[in-house]
Chain A
Amino acid sequence: DIQMTQSPSTLSASVGDRVIITCRASENINTWLAWYQQKPGKAPKLLIYKASTLESGVPSGFSGSGSGTDFTLTISSLQPDDFATYFCQQYNNYPWTFGQGTRVDVK
Protein backbone atom coordinates (compact mmCIF):
# COMPACT_ATOMS: atom_id res chain seq x y z
CA ASP A 1 0.00 0.00 0.00
CA ILE A 2 1.10 3.58 -0.63
CA GLN A 3 1.97 5.47 2.56
CA MET A 4 1.13 9.17 2.73
CA THR A 5 3.10 11.28 5.20
CA GLN A 6 2.04 14.81 6.03
CA SER A 7 4.03 17.46 7.84
CA PRO A 8 3.71 19.11 10.17
CA SER A 9 1.14 17.28 12.29
CA THR A 10 0.15 20.55 13.96
CA LEU A 11 0.74 24.08 12.79
CA SER A 12 0.08 27.20 14.85
CA ALA A 13 -0.58 30.30 12.79
CA SER A 14 -2.24 33.72 12.82
CA VAL A 15 -4.81 35.26 10.51
CA GLY A 16 -3.01 36.60 7.46
CA ASP A 17 -0.14 34.09 7.65
CA ARG A 18 0.99 32.09 4.64
CA VAL A 19 0.61 28.40 5.50
CA ILE A 20 2.28 25.49 3.73
CA ILE A 21 1.48 21.84 4.39
CA THR A 22 3.47 19.08 2.75
CA CYS A 23 2.49 15.55 1.79
CA ARG A 24 4.88 12.85 0.67
CA ALA A 25 3.91 9.56 -1.01
CA SER A 26 5.94 6.40 -0.56
CA GLU A 27 5.91 5.85 -4.32
CA ASN A 28 5.07 7.74 -7.48
CA ILE A 29 1.39 8.74 -7.62
CA ASN A 30 1.71 11.08 -10.63
CA THR A 31 -0.77 13.88 -9.83
CA TRP A 32 -3.53 11.71 -8.36
CA LEU A 33 -3.64 13.61 -5.09
CA ALA A 34 -6.47 15.39 -3.31
CA TRP A 35 -6.59 17.76 -0.34
CA TYR A 36 -9.54 17.90 2.08
CA GLN A 37 -10.44 20.25 4.91
CA GLN A 38 -12.29 18.95 7.96
CA LYS A 39 -13.77 20.84 10.87
CA PRO A 40 -14.76 19.18 14.17
CA GLY A 41 -17.94 17.13 13.90
CA LYS A 42 -18.22 17.72 10.15
CA ALA A 43 -17.58 15.69 7.04
CA PRO A 44 -14.42 16.42 5.05
CA LYS A 45 -14.66 18.94 2.24
CA LEU A 46 -12.75 18.60 -1.02
CA LEU A 47 -10.42 21.53 -1.69
CA ILE A 48 -8.10 20.38 -4.46
CA TYR A 49 -7.90 17.37 -6.77
CA LYS A 50 -5.39 16.21 -9.34
CA ALA A 51 -2.73 17.87 -7.15
CA SER A 52 -3.45 21.43 -8.28
CA THR A 53 -7.05 21.77 -9.52
CA LEU A 54 -9.19 23.92 -7.25
CA GLU A 55 -12.63 22.43 -6.55
CA SER A 56 -15.53 24.65 -7.56
CA GLY A 57 -16.47 27.13 -4.84
CA VAL A 58 -13.21 26.85 -2.92
CA PRO A 59 -11.57 30.24 -2.22
CA SER A 60 -8.66 31.13 -4.47
CA GLY A 61 -6.39 31.55 -1.46
CA PHE A 62 -5.95 27.76 -1.51
CA SER A 63 -3.53 26.23 -3.99
CA GLY A 64 -1.84 22.89 -4.53
CA SER A 65 1.30 21.82 -6.30
CA GLY A 66 3.54 18.84 -6.87
CA SER A 67 3.77 15.58 -8.75
CA GLY A 68 5.33 12.19 -8.29
CA THR A 69 5.93 11.86 -4.55
CA ASP A 70 6.05 15.41 -3.14
CA PHE A 71 3.09 17.74 -2.83
CA THR A 72 2.16 20.95 -1.05
CA LEU A 73 -1.02 22.71 0.00
CA THR A 74 -0.63 26.46 0.38
CA ILE A 75 -3.00 28.89 2.03
CA SER A 76 -1.82 32.29 0.83
CA SER A 77 -3.37 34.33 3.65
CA LEU A 78 -4.97 32.40 6.48
CA GLN A 79 -8.57 33.39 7.15
CA PRO A 80 -10.56 32.78 10.37
CA ASP A 81 -12.58 30.09 8.61
CA ASP A 82 -9.42 28.18 7.64
CA PHE A 83 -8.59 26.89 11.13
CA ALA A 84 -9.24 23.19 10.61
CA THR A 85 -7.55 19.87 9.92
CA TYR A 86 -6.25 19.12 6.44
CA PHE A 87 -5.76 15.69 4.88
CA CYS A 88 -4.06 14.62 1.69
CA GLN A 89 -5.22 11.50 -0.13
CA GLN A 90 -3.78 9.49 -3.00
CA TYR A 91 -6.06 7.90 -5.56
CA ASN A 92 -3.45 6.54 -7.93
CA ASN A 93 -3.80 2.97 -6.66
CA TYR A 94 -6.25 0.96 -4.60
CA PRO A 95 -6.34 0.89 -1.67
CA TRP A 96 -6.62 4.65 -1.51
CA THR A 97 -4.75 6.10 1.44
CA PHE A 98 -4.85 9.32 3.45
CA GLY A 99 -2.18 11.26 5.22
CA GLN A 100 -2.47 11.43 9.00
CA GLY A 101 -3.70 15.03 8.93
CA THR A 102 -2.37 18.48 9.75
CA ARG A 103 -4.21 20.53 12.34
CA VAL A 104 -4.00 24.28 11.83
CA ASP A 105 -4.72 26.10 15.06
CA VAL A 106 -4.52 29.63 16.46
CA LYS A 107 -1.08 30.85 17.45
Chain B
Amino acid sequence: EVHLLQSGGDLVQPGGSLRLSCGGSGFTFSSHDMSWVRQAPGQGLEWVAITVGGGGGFYYGDSVKGRFTVSRDNSRNTLYLQMNSLRVEDTATYYCAKKIGYGYALDSWGQGTLVIVSS
Protein backbone atom coordinates (compact mmCIF):
# COMPACT_ATOMS: atom_id res chain seq x y z
CA GLU B 1 0.00 0.00 0.00
CA VAL B 2 1.27 3.45 -0.92
CA HIS B 3 1.90 5.75 2.04
CA LEU B 4 3.27 9.29 2.25
CA LEU B 5 4.10 10.42 5.78
CA GLN B 6 4.81 14.09 6.32
CA SER B 7 6.55 15.99 9.11
CA GLY B 8 8.14 19.34 9.86
CA GLY B 9 5.29 21.81 10.10
CA ASP B 10 5.67 24.45 12.80
CA LEU B 11 5.15 28.05 13.86
CA VAL B 12 7.92 30.27 12.47
CA GLN B 13 8.55 33.99 12.41
CA PRO B 14 8.51 36.00 9.19
CA GLY B 15 11.90 35.82 7.52
CA GLY B 16 12.62 32.47 9.11
CA SER B 17 13.28 29.06 7.60
CA LEU B 18 11.75 25.62 7.87
CA ARG B 19 12.26 22.23 6.25
CA LEU B 20 9.39 19.86 5.54
CA SER B 21 9.85 16.13 4.96
CA CYS B 22 7.76 13.49 3.23
CA GLY B 23 8.64 9.82 3.47
CA GLY B 24 7.32 7.42 0.87
CA SER B 25 6.64 3.71 1.11
CA GLY B 26 4.87 1.06 -0.93
CA PHE B 27 6.17 2.26 -4.29
CA THR B 28 9.44 2.78 -6.17
CA PHE B 29 10.21 6.25 -4.86
CA SER B 30 13.10 7.07 -7.20
CA SER B 31 11.06 6.63 -10.36
CA HIS B 32 8.15 8.85 -9.31
CA ASP B 33 7.71 12.57 -9.70
CA MET B 34 7.20 14.12 -6.25
CA SER B 35 5.41 17.39 -5.71
CA TRP B 36 4.36 19.88 -3.02
CA VAL B 37 0.95 21.56 -2.98
CA ARG B 38 -0.27 23.99 -0.33
CA GLN B 39 -3.59 25.26 0.91
CA ALA B 40 -3.99 28.44 2.91
CA PRO B 41 -6.70 28.29 5.61
CA GLY B 42 -10.12 28.26 3.97
CA GLN B 43 -8.64 28.69 0.50
CA GLY B 44 -8.01 26.61 -2.60
CA LEU B 45 -5.05 24.54 -3.69
CA GLU B 46 -1.78 26.11 -4.87
CA TRP B 47 0.92 24.10 -6.59
CA VAL B 48 4.34 24.78 -5.04
CA ALA B 49 7.06 22.63 -6.60
CA ILE B 50 8.00 19.33 -8.21
CA THR B 51 11.04 17.12 -8.55
CA VAL B 52 10.85 14.90 -11.59
CA GLY B 53 11.84 11.26 -11.09
CA GLY B 54 14.98 9.93 -12.73
CA GLY B 55 16.80 13.25 -12.45
CA GLY B 56 14.38 15.10 -14.68
CA GLY B 57 14.65 18.47 -12.99
CA PHE B 58 12.91 20.82 -10.57
CA TYR B 59 10.13 23.31 -11.15
CA TYR B 60 8.53 25.91 -8.91
CA GLY B 61 5.44 28.05 -8.56
CA ASP B 62 5.93 31.76 -9.10
CA SER B 63 5.20 32.73 -5.49
CA VAL B 64 7.97 30.53 -4.04
CA LYS B 65 10.64 30.65 -6.74
CA GLY B 66 13.98 31.74 -5.28
CA ARG B 67 12.85 31.12 -1.69
CA PHE B 68 11.88 27.44 -1.59
CA THR B 69 13.99 24.48 -2.69
CA VAL B 70 12.63 21.01 -3.38
CA SER B 71 14.96 18.04 -3.08
CA ARG B 72 14.85 14.31 -2.63
CA ASP B 73 16.96 11.54 -1.12
CA ASN B 74 16.12 8.40 -3.04
CA SER B 75 18.23 6.29 -0.68
CA ARG B 76 15.93 7.34 2.16
CA ASN B 77 12.71 7.49 0.05
CA THR B 78 12.25 11.03 1.31
CA LEU B 79 11.16 14.30 -0.28
CA TYR B 80 12.07 17.66 1.24
CA LEU B 81 10.95 21.24 0.95
CA GLN B 82 13.40 23.82 2.28
CA MET B 83 11.52 27.06 2.87
CA ASN B 84 13.53 30.24 3.39
CA SER B 85 12.56 33.90 3.76
CA LEU B 86 9.12 32.83 4.94
CA ARG B 87 6.27 35.30 4.67
CA VAL B 88 2.93 35.53 6.46
CA GLU B 89 1.27 34.55 3.18
CA ASP B 90 3.15 31.22 3.21
CA THR B 91 0.91 30.12 6.06
CA ALA B 92 -0.81 26.97 4.82
CA THR B 93 -1.18 23.25 5.07
CA TYR B 94 1.50 21.73 2.87
CA TYR B 95 0.84 18.43 1.13
CA CYS B 96 3.31 16.18 -0.64
CA ALA B 97 2.01 14.06 -3.49
CA LYS B 98 3.36 11.62 -6.03
CA LYS B 99 2.89 11.16 -9.74
CA ILE B 100 3.72 7.98 -11.62
CA GLY B 101 5.09 9.73 -14.67
CA TYR B 102 4.34 11.52 -17.90
CA GLY B 103 0.64 11.96 -18.53
CA TYR B 104 -0.47 11.08 -15.05
CA ALA B 105 -1.66 13.35 -12.23
CA LEU B 106 -1.02 13.45 -8.47
CA ASP B 107 -2.38 10.05 -7.49
CA SER B 108 -1.43 9.76 -3.81
CA TRP B 109 -1.13 12.48 -1.19
CA GLY B 110 0.36 12.85 2.27
CA GLN B 111 -1.72 13.81 5.26
CA GLY B 112 -0.57 17.42 5.21
CA THR B 113 1.50 19.46 7.65
CA LEU B 114 0.63 22.95 8.89
CA VAL B 115 3.08 25.81 8.58
CA ILE B 116 2.20 29.03 10.38
CA VAL B 117 4.26 32.13 9.71
CA SER B 118 3.56 34.73 12.34
CA SER B 119 5.34 37.06 14.71
Q: Which residue of A lies closest to B106 (CB)?
A: A46
- Chain B, interface size category, equals 20 to 34
Report if A49 contacts B (CB, 8 A). Answer: yes
Residues in chain A near residue B61, CB distance under 8 A: 95-96
B95 touches A43 (CB 8 A): yes
Q: Which of A18-26, A69-77, A86-94 contacts B (4 or more CB under 8 A)?
A: A86-94
Task: Name 15 extra pairs, CB < 8 A, besides A46-B105, A101-B44.
Answer: A32-B103, A36-B106, A43-B111, A43-B112, A44-B37, A44-B95, A46-B106, A46-B108, A55-B107, A87-B44, A91-B105, A94-B59, A95-B47, A97-B47, A98-B46
Residue-wise interface mask of A (30-41) relative to B, using a CB-CB cutoff of 8 A (1 in contact, 0 not)? 001010101000
Q: Which residues of A contact B (CB under 8 A)?
A: 1, 32, 34, 36, 38, 43-46, 49-50, 55, 87, 89, 91, 94-101
Q: Which residue of B lies closest to A56 (CB)?
A: B107
A89 touches B105 (CB 8 A): yes
Residues in chain A near residue B109, CB distance under 8 A: 43-45
Q: Which applies to chain B's interface (DSSP): helix, strand, loop or mixed?
A: strand
- Residues of B64-112 at the interface with A, using a CB-CB cut-off of 8 Å, are 95, 97, 103-112
Cα–Cα, bound, A29→B30 (Å): 28
Residues in chain B near residue A49, CB distance under 8 A: 103-105, 107
Residue-wise interface mask of B (31-46) relative to A, using a CB-CB cutoff of 8 A (1 in contact, 0 not)? 0000101000000111
